[in-house]
Amino acid sequence: MSLRTIMTATSLVLSMASAASAQSTLVYCSEGSPEGFDPALYSAGTTFDATSHPIFNQLVEFKTGTTEVVPGLAESWEASEDGLEYTFHLRQGVTFHSTDWFTPSRDFNADDVVFSFMRQLDTEGPWYTAEGGSYVYFNDMSMPDLIKEIVKVDDYTVKFVLNRVEAPFIANLAMDFASIQSAEYADQLLAAGTPELLNQQPIGTGPFEFVMYQKDAVIRYAKNTEYWNAGLPKVDNLVFAITTDASVRYQKLLAGECHIMPYPNPADIAEMKANPDVNVMEQEGLNVGYLAYNTQQAPFDNPVVRKALNMAIDKQSIIDVVFQGSGQIAKNPIPPTMWSYNDAIVDDVYDPEAAKAMLAEAGVSDLSMKIWAMPVQRPYNPNARRMAELMQEDFARIGVNVEIVSYEWGEYLDRSKATDRDGAVLLGWTGDNGDPDNFLAVLLGCDGVGGGNRAQWCYEPFNDVIQKAKTVSDPAERTALYEQAQVIFKEQAPWATIAHSVVFMPMRPEVEGYVMHPLGGHIFTEVSLAE
Amino acid sequence: MGGAVRLHGPAFRVTGKSNRRGDDPPRMTRGPMLRYFLSKLLTFVPTFLGVTLVSFAFIRVLPGDPIIVMAGERGVSPERYAELVAQFGFDRPIYVQFWDYFTGVLQGDLGQSFVTKRPVWDEFFSLFPATLELSTVAITIAVLLGIPAGVIAATQRGKLFDRLLMSSALIGYSMPIFWWALLLIIVFSGNLGWTPVSGRIDLMFYFPNTTGFMLIDSLLSGQKGAFASAVSHLVLPSIVLATIPLAVIARQTRSAMLEVLSEDYIRTARAKGLAPIRVNGLHALRNALIPVITVIGLMVGTLLAGAILTETIFSWPGIGKWMVDSIFRRDYPVVQGGLLLVAVMVMVVNLIVDLLYGFINPKIRKR
C-alpha cells in the first residue's frame, strides 16, 4: 500500500465523527509506547499489544479470552510417543504483508518458521546480535536448553526436537517471542546492511499491517485485506493514541477521542460504571501477589508458624485499601482464570485469636520479623508499602513485631533471592503462557530455590507432583496433578497468597466483540464498531 | 540577580550627551562585542567537558543494576547475566567506557538506546521539535502577558490591579501543574468541549513528519483544517506550561520596574514632562529588562529540557518524558546523551542571554 493511498484513505476515514463513512477506524488509547516492533526482543505487554497481536501470528495461538492453545499458522500438530518431537503442519496460502518497504515474492512456508526460531537459538548466526538486542523472553523461558533442533521436513512441515519432555512447550510456542517473521524480508534487510529495520518496519502475517509510528504519539495500522482468517479483522484501520496518564485516557474516552482504553484509575471505576456512555468489562488478571516466608529459617521452617501468620492477615482490608476494590482475595498460588485452578480449596480463615494460640502451641513467643516491601507498583501489588503496613498491624495483634524494609528495585529482586535472607518478601508474578507450570514450577519448585522461589521452599512431595505434570501430555491428568499440588501448597503454606488483580477495560458503547484476554494482551482482531 | 545589575544609562539621554553615571561612555563598536562573545564562547569548553562527565556519571551512580531491573521478577541466570554484561560493554573498566563515550560524542555519535536499539541522536531529533514548539508558544505567552502585567502592576503599586495581579501570580506560581492541567482538561475539553483532550493533532489528519513542528507540517500538508486542529491542540498544554513562567516574569518585571522607577533619572524624566507611557514603557522598562531577561533565559532553559508533567498529561511526545522513561529503564545511552544535548542547549540559551545583556547594557560587555 503506497503512502499516498494510505494518506488519502486515512484522511477520508479516520475521523471518528464520520463513523458512518465506508471505512471504520478503531482508536485505542494505549498506556505507553512500544519499545520496538520485533516482539522477540522484548518482554513488556505494551510492546506485545502493538506488535505480536496486531502484526504477527504464531504457529499456535491462545484462543482470545482463554489460555487454551488453538491452531495459528500451524493447522495441526502431533507429538511423538516419547514426547520429544513435535511435528507441525503449516497453513498454506498465507501471505506476508505487502508494504512500501517490502513486497513478498512467496507465501509463508517452513523457511519462515525455521528462521523465526533459529535467529534466537543459533548464537553463531548473523541474527543473534544483528538487531543490537537480545532475545530475552526466549531465554527466560529456557528455550535454548529445551530445543535440540528444528528441522524443515518439507515446505509445509516443521519438526521441533526437544532435549527433554516438557508439556508446556506448546503453550510457549503461542507466546509473543514465537511470532513468525518473514525469512525473505530478513534476508533482504541483512543484505542491505539494515537489519535494525526488522525492529522498526515490521512485516508479519497478522490481521493488521503496520503503517507508521510516531514515537510516544501514535501508531497506525491498516487492515490486512489478505488475512488468512477470512472475515477478520473487522475494522479497516486501527490507531493507537498513546496516552500515558490514566485520567487523561478516561477524558479522551468521554470526549470520543478514543473507543477503548486499558488500565483505568481504580478511583474512576465507580463513576465509569455509572456512566451510560461507557461500558466497563472486568476480569481477574493472570497474576498473584504473595508474601513469601523464608522457609529455610526458624521459626518459618515450621508450617504451623506460617499457617498461623497467614491466619492473622486481614486480606479483605488489603483488597479494600491497597487495591481499592480492583483486586480479589487469592487462596491459591495460581489465578482463577487458569486451567486446573482448584476451587475446592478453602482459604485460611482470618482469626487472630486462633493464630495466636497456634503460635503459642508451636512454642513461638516474642517473634520479630522483617517484611520486605517492593519499591515499585505492580498490577498484583499497587502499593507494597501500604500492604506491609497493614500486615504490620495485623501481626502486632498476635504479638508479632514487624519491621518493614525496602530496597531499590534491582537490589530488591537480587537480595530477595538469597537463601539466608532475613524476612518475608512481598512479591508477585504475572503469567507468561497460561500454563500452571509457569507459576508452580518457576515460583515454588526446588530448582527455583536461590532464584525465583523466594520462599526458598523445596518440598519433595510438592516438587514430585509438578515435575510429573511437566512430563505427561494428557490435559486431564495434568489438571489432576496441579490440583493436588495446590492442596499440598495450602497445607504447607510457604506463602501467604494475598491477591489477584482485577483488570478493568472501559470502552465506548459502540465497541462490539471485544473479549478480555486472561494473559493480559489487548487484541482487536474481532472488534467492530456499531454505526 | 536583580540587585547585582543596576542599570541606567544608555536608554536615556537628558542632555543629548551620553548619559554617564561615573563610568566610561559606552561605545557601540564591534571590537568589545566580539571579544565579549569569544570570551563567553571559551567558557563553553570546560562546561562541555564537565557536562559530558556528569551526564556519564549520573546514571551510573543511581542504584540499580540495569540488567536486573530489565529482567524484573523473571530474573536472569548467571550465564545469561554475563552474556548481557558483555553485550552492553559493562565488563570493561569504567574509564574505557567513558573514553568510548567521550570520543563518540566528539564524533557526533551518542550511541544507541538499549531499549529501542535506535540511535539516541535520531530519537532526540524526532522528539525535540515537539518540545521546542510547545515551549516556544508557552514562553511567548508568558512574555507577552507577563511583562505588560508586571509593568502595569508596578505603576499601579498598591492599587487593586496590583494586588489582584500579584495574588494571581502567587497562585500561578504555586499551582500543582498536574492538578491544574487536569482541571483545564475536565472543564474545557470534557464539560465545554472547546479543546481536544490531548495529542498534537486530530487523528483524522495524517501527513509526513517533514519538520517535526506540527504547526508547520500541518500547513505544508495542505489538508483543510489541519492547521486549526494543531493550534487547538496547543491551547491547553501551552497555557499550562506558561503558567509558572508567566507568574515569575510578571513578579520579576514588577520588582525590577519598582526599583528603576525610584531612580533619579526617572524623576527627572517625569519632571521634564515626558508622557507617563514614555517614561514607563521606554526608559524604565528597558532598564528593568536585564533581570527579567535573566529569568526568561533560565525559564527557556528549563522548558527546553522538556516539561515532564505537561508532556505526560497531554500525551505530548517531547523529550522530557523520554528522558524520565529512560532513567526508570536504566537506558544509559539515552540518559547520558539526552542530558548532554539538553545541557548544551541550556548553555546556548545562556550564551544568547549573556549576549543580550551586552546588547542592552554596553557596560556588561566591557567587563
Predicted structure pTM score: 0.85
Indicate yes or no: CB of A410 within 8 angstroms of CB of B63: yes
ipTM of the complex as predicted? 0.81
Q: Angle at which helices B94-106 and B44-61 pack, to 10 degrees?
A: 140
Q: Which residues of B touch A247 (CB under 8 A)?
A: 182
A216 → closest Cβ in B193, B196, B317? B317
Indicate yes or no: CB of A245 within 8 angstroms of CB of B205: no
Widest Cα–Cα separation across chain B = 86
Which of B315, B326, B330, B331 to probe the A interface (max A CBs under 10 A)?
Answer: B315
Indicate yes or no: CB of A215 within 8 angstroms of CB of B127: yes
Indicate yes or no: CB of B185 within 8 angstroms of CB of A251: yes
Chain B: closest CA distance from residue A328 (Å): 21
A11 → closest Cβ in B112, B190, B205? B205
Which of A35, A134, A248, A372 to probe the B interface (max B CBs under 10 A)?
Answer: A248
Residue B29's pLDDT is 52
Q: Which residues of B touch A417 (CB under 8 A)?
A: 75
Indicate yes or no: CB of B74 within 8 angstroms of CB of A43: yes
Distance (Å, whole) CA B126 – CA B339 = 16
In chain B, which residue's Cα lies nearest the Cα of A136? B71
In 3D, which of B269, B303, B298, B302 has the Cα closest to residue B285?
A: B269
The single-letter code of the amino acid at A459 is: Y
What is the radius of gyration, based on Cα positions, of chain A? Answer: 25
- Is any Cβ of chain A less than 8 angstroms from the Cβ of B196? yes
Q: Which residues of B touch A217 (CB under 8 A)?
A: 130, 199-200, 315, 317
B64 → closest Cβ in A13, A251, A409? A409
Contact yes or no for B8/B263 (Cβ under 8 A): yes
- Residues 254-293, chain B, touching A (beta carbon < 8 A): none
Chain B: closest CA distance from residue A210 (Å): 14
Q: Which residues of B touch A251 (CB under 8 A)?
A: 185-186, 189-190, 197-198
Indicate yes or no: CB of A245 within 8 angstroms of CB of B189: no
Exposure string over B177-202, b if 16+ CB within 10 A, otherwise e: beebbbebbbebbbeeeebbbbbbbb
Phi then psi for A122, rounded to 5 degrees? -85, 100
> What is the SS3 assignment for B25?
coil
Q: Which residues of A touch B315 (CB under 8 A)?
A: 216-217, 241-245, 248
Q: What is the pLDDT of residues A314-352, one digit of tens each?
A: 999 999 999 988 899 999 999 998 999 999 999 999 999
Instruction: Please identify every stretch of chain B with a pLDDT value under 70, giving residue numbers as ranges.
Output: 1-30, 306, 362-367
Q: Which residues of A touch B314 (CB under 8 A)?
A: 248
Q: What is the pLDDT of residues B262-290, one digit of tens each?
A: 888 888 888 888 887 777 777 788 888 88
- Is any Cβ of chain A less than 8 angstroms from the Cβ of B190? yes
Q: Provide CB contacts within 8 A for A300, sequence distance 6+.
A: A293, A294, A306, A369, A424
- Is any Cβ of chain A less than 8 angstroms from the Cβ of B314? yes
Distance (Å, whole) CA B289 – CA B281 = 11
- Is any Cβ of chain A less than 8 angstroms from the Cβ of B195? no
Question: How far are the Cα atoms of A11, A128, A290, A299, A493 from residue A307, in angstroms, in the given order?
Answer: 63, 48, 14, 12, 6
Residue B27's pLDDT is 46
B196 → closest Cβ in A13, A242, A257? A257
Which of B62, B74, B113, B191 to probe the A interface (max A CBs under 10 A)?
Answer: B74
Residue B268's pLDDT is 84
Indicate yes or no: CB of B203 within 8 angstroms of CB of A247: no
Q: Which residues of A touch B75 (CB under 8 A)?
A: 413, 417, 451-452
Chain B: closest CA distance from residue A281 (Å): 23
Distance (Å, whole) CA B326 – CA A303 = 43
Chain A: closest CA distance from residue B312 (Å): 6
Chain A: closest CA distance from residue B197 (Å): 6
Residue A3's pLDDT is 42
Indicate yes or no: CB of A14 within 8 angstroms of CB of B203: yes
Distance (Å, whole) CA A505 – CA A502 = 10
Q: How far apart are the first and last CA of chain A?
A: 27
Q: Which residues of A touch B317 (CB under 8 A)?
A: 214-217, 242
- Residues 120-179, chain B, touching A (beta carbon < 8 A): 123, 126-127, 130
Q: What is chain A's pLDDT, residue by residue, as a tens digit (531 residues)?
A: 444 444 434 443 444 444 444 689 999 999 999 999 999 998 888 999 999 999 999 999 998 888 889 999 999 999 998 999 999 999 999 999 999 999 999 999 999 999 999 999 998 999 998 887 788 889 888 899 999 999 999 999 999 999 999 989 999 999 999 999 999 999 999 999 999 999 999 999 999 999 999 999 999 999 999 999 999 999 999 999 999 999 999 999 999 999 999 999 888 999 999 999 999 999 989 999 999 999 999 999 999 999 999 999 999 999 999 998 889 999 999 999 899 999 999 999 999 999 999 999 999 999 999 999 999 888 899 999 999 999 999 999 999 999 999 988 888 988 999 999 999 999 999 888 889 999 999 899 998 898 889 999 999 999 999 999 998 888 899 999 999 999 999 999 999 999 999 999 999 999 999 999 988 899 999 999 997
- Is any Cβ of chain A less than 8 angstroms from the Cβ of B207? yes
The single-letter code of the amino acid at A370 is: K
Chain B: closest CA distance from residue A47 (Å): 11
Indicate yes or no: CB of B315 within 8 angstroms of CB of A243: yes
Q: Which residues of A touch B193 (CB under 8 A)?
A: 255
| Grid-cell match 530496597, residue found | A407
Indicate yes or no: CB of A257 within 8 angstroms of CB of B198: yes
- Is any Cβ of chain A less than 8 angstroms from the Cβ of B193? yes
- Residues 30-59, chain B, touching A (beta carbon < 8 A): none
In chain A, which residue's Cα lies nearest the Cα of B225? A11
> What is the SS3 assignment for B2?
coil
Distance (Å, whole) CA B246 – CA B177 = 13
Q: What share of chain A is helix, strand, coil (3-state, %, to 5)?
A: 35, 20, 45
